[in-house]
């Protein structure tokens, strides 16, 4: 029948839209469960440090943006891959004699998620495979599935502070016929709260070198480590392996809603001119992140006092300690002490708990009985765990974790 004679019919979402889902958002954005009306709801669900009102960004960060807004000089389209002065600010902050940077190595993006989207798209063709951590941040899979990239999950080892099982990964890489386009490494980690040692990162770089794998380093929690830990940017450890580091303002500067992220390209063997060109092409699809925050970036970097970063980490470390005090030593629960970021994974031995078959049921019952929201490990690929976020005020972390404790004790088998 000629198209002009057809009736209207339902217009469906595309196939790509159908296979695109964010598992965290599916849990936190949907109000399926009614909390206990006798207890005010406390969410340890979302990694948004701005929610609790206890972790505001520094006034210097706000003033830098206000100044740009008032100037009226930041209202136009920036170049798609980013404003020159924002890129130059990143070069001055992150360039290092062992891994020197130029503005051509920087791409600005809409949040770290936007940087991840560009990084996956520029390295991987549909049908190729990328290596993702298990457990890992859910947006990696969301992006890959949308593009039609296959995913192979590599294991993180809870008994070894969530280090990567490099032996198993090497065995897989030796045996597979798949075309592996990139290896994503997240450090410090969401959801594990782990921080990798220099030695472990060196072993990762050696493996990447052996199998000629470009690394996507998700370092959005850069520098967010507790006392006794050191953050090592992986690109500084690589003399051969190409590294695309993705990061942004969301976590360290506590402004996730501002949506400013970036990619830093480390190209020691000068293999990535095509990738640079590809990033410029790809950034043309959305014409870059917002101009005002980009223009404020030089001031954000230079005017934020060191005391702001240390205060943030002091609060997060104190809160992690509160969570540990409440949750350690409960039968049926394994609290794995975090080393940084704002998360901890907690193991559940369901065999020891009454009426709880798995981590999803654990978190749903916890929500219904104690009005505490946590995310089931299953959505990060790690059943029999749940994740807590401890960036809200310490008294709320204490109250929520005490309720988790009571919940576990109430469900403990005799």
Q: Parallel, antiparallel, or unpaired: how do β-strands 150-157 and 163-164 relate?
A: antiparallel
CB of residue 172 vs ligand PLP: minimum separation in angstroms? 23
User: What are residue 170's DSSP bridge partners?
Assistant: none
Q: Is residue 256 at the binding interface for ligand PLP, with CB under 6 A as the rule? A: yes
47 vs 377, which CB is nearer to ligand PLP? 47
The position carrying tokens 């043309």 is 284
Q: Is residue 261 at the binding interface for ligand PLP, with CB under 6 A as the rule? A: yes
CB of residue 15 vs ligand PLP: minimum separation in angstroms? 25
218 vs 359, which CB is nearer to ligand PLP? 218
CB of residue 65 vs ligand PLP: minimum separation in angstroms? 16
Q: Is residue 339 at the binding interface for ligand PLP, with CB under 6 A as the rule? A: no
H or E stretch covering 217: strand 215-218
List, as one string, the DSSP characters of 167-192: HHHHHHHHH--S-EEEEEEESS-TTT
CA angle 316, 320, 323 (to 5 degrees): 140
- The 3 state secondary structure assigned to 46-81 is CCCCCCCCCCCCCHHHHHHHHHHHHHCCCCCCCCCC
CB of residue 216 vs ligand PLP: minimum separation in angstroms? 10
* Contact with ligand PLP (CB under 6 A) among 68, 186, 317, 363: 186
Q: Is residue 120 at the binding interface for ligand PLP, with CB under 6 A as the rule? A: no
* Contact with ligand PLP (CB under 6 A) among 120, 137, 162, 301: 137
Count CA atoms within 13 Å of residue 21 on its CB side: 9
111 vs 288, which CB is nearer to ligand PLP? 111
74-113 footprint of ligand PLP as x/- string (CB under 6 A): -------------------------------------xxx
Spatial contact of 232 and 195, defined as CB atoms under 8 Å apart: no
CB of residue 252 vs ligand PLP: minimum separation in angstroms? 10
Please state, in angstroms and rounded to a whole number, the distance separating the CA atoms of residues 174 and 177. Answer: 9
CB of residue 285 vs ligand PLP: minimum separation in angstroms? 17
Long-range contacts of 400-405 (CB under 8 A, 24+ apart): 400/42, 400/44, 400/372, 401/322, 401/323, 401/325, 401/326, 401/327, 402/326, 403/39, 403/42, 403/366, 403/370, 403/371, 403/372, 404/326, 404/327, 404/366, 404/370, 404/372, 404/374, 405/326, 405/327, 405/330
List, as one string, the DSSP characters of 364-381: HHHHHHH-EE-EEGGGGT
Q: Which of 254, 269, 265 is nearest to 221 (CA)?
A: 254
Q: Which residue is nearest to ligand PLP (CB)?
A: 111
Q: Is residue 190 at the binding interface for ligand PLP, with CB under 6 A as the rule? A: yes
Number of residues counted as binding ligand PLP (CB under 6 A): 13
CB of residue 188 vs ligand PLP: minimum separation in angstroms? 9
Instruction: Name the DSSP class of 353.
Output: B
CB of residue 391 vs ligand PLP: minimum separation in angstroms? 11
Please state, in angstroms and rounded to a whole number, the distance separating the CA atoms of residues 229 and 337. Answer: 13
78 vs 261, which CB is nearer to ligand PLP? 261
CB of residue 105 vs ligand PLP: minimum separation in angstroms? 19
Q: Is residue 319 at the binding interface for ligand PLP, with CB under 6 A as the rule? A: no
Q: Is residue 52 at the binding interface for ligand PLP, with CB under 6 A as the rule? A: no
112 vs 149, which CB is nearer to ligand PLP? 112
Query: Under rule CB under 6 A, which residues in 262-301 are in contact with ligand PLP?
Result: none
114 vs 298, which CB is nearer to ligand PLP? 114
Count CA atoms within 13 Å of residue 399 on its CB side: 14
The position carrying tokens 């505001």 is 56
Q: Is residue 133 at the binding interface for ligand PLP, with CB under 6 A as the rule? A: no
CB of residue 75 vs ligand PLP: minimum separation in angstroms? 23
Query: Under rule CB under 6 A, which residues in 196-255 are in contact with ligand PLP?
Result: 218, 220, 248, 250
Q: Is residue 47 at the binding interface for ligand PLP, with CB under 6 A as the rule? A: yes
Residues 6+ apart with CB under 8 A from 256: 48, 49, 50, 111, 250
Q: Which residues bind ligand PLP (CB under 6 A)?
A: 47, 111-113, 137, 186, 190, 218, 220, 248, 250, 256, 261
């Amino acid at each position: 029948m000629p198209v002009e004679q057809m009736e209207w019919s339902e217009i469906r979402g595309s196939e790509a839209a159908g296979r695109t889902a964010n598992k965290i958002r599916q849990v936190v954005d949907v109000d399926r469960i009614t909390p206990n009306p006798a207890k005010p709801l406390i969410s340890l669900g979302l990694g948004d440090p701005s929610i609790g009102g206890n972790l505001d960004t520094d006034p210097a960060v706000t003033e830098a943006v206000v100044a740009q807004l008032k100037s009226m000089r930041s209202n136009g389209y920036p170049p798609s891959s980013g404003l020159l002065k924002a890129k130059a600010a990143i070069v001055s902050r992150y360039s290092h004699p062992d891994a020197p940077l130029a503005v051509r190595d920087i791409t600005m993006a809409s949040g770290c998620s936007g940087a991840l989207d560009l990084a996956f798209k520029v390295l991987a063709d549909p049908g190729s495979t990328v290596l993702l951590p298990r457990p890992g941040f859910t947006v990696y899979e969301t992006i890959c599935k949308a593009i039609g990239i296959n995913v192979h999950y590599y294991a993180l080892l809870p008994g070894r502070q969530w280090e990567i099982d490099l032996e198993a990964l090497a065995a897989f890489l030796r045996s597979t016929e798949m075309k592996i386009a990139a290896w994503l490494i997240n450090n410090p980690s969401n959801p594990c709260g782990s921080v990798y040692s220099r030695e472990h990162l060196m072993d990762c770089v050696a493996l990447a070198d052996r199998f000629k794998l470009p690394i996507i380093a998700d370092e959005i929690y850069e520098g967010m480590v507790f006392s006794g830990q050191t953050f090592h940017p992986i690109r500084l450890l690589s003399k051969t392996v190409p590294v695309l580091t993705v990061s942004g303002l969301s976590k360290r500067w506590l402004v996730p809603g501002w949506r400013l992220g970036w990619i830093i390209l480390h190209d020691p063997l000068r293999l990535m001119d095509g990738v640079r060109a590809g990033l410029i092409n790809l950034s043309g699809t959305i014409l870059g992140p917002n101009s005002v925050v980009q223009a404020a970036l030089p001031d954000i970097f230079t005017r934020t006092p060191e005391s702001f970063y240390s205060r943030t980490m002091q609060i997060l470390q104190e809160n992690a300690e509160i969570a540990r005090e409440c949750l350690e030593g409960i039968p049926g629960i394994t609290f794995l002490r975090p080393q940084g970021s704002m998360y901890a994974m907690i193991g559940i031995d369901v065999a020891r708990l009454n009426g709880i078959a798995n981590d999803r049921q654990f978190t749903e019952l916890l929500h219904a009985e104690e009005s505490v929201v946590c995310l089931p490990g299953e959505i990060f690929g790690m059943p029999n765990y749940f994740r807590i976020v401890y960036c809200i005020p310490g008294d709320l972390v204490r109250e929520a974790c005490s309720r988790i404790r009571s919940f576990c004790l109430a469900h403990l088998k005799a």
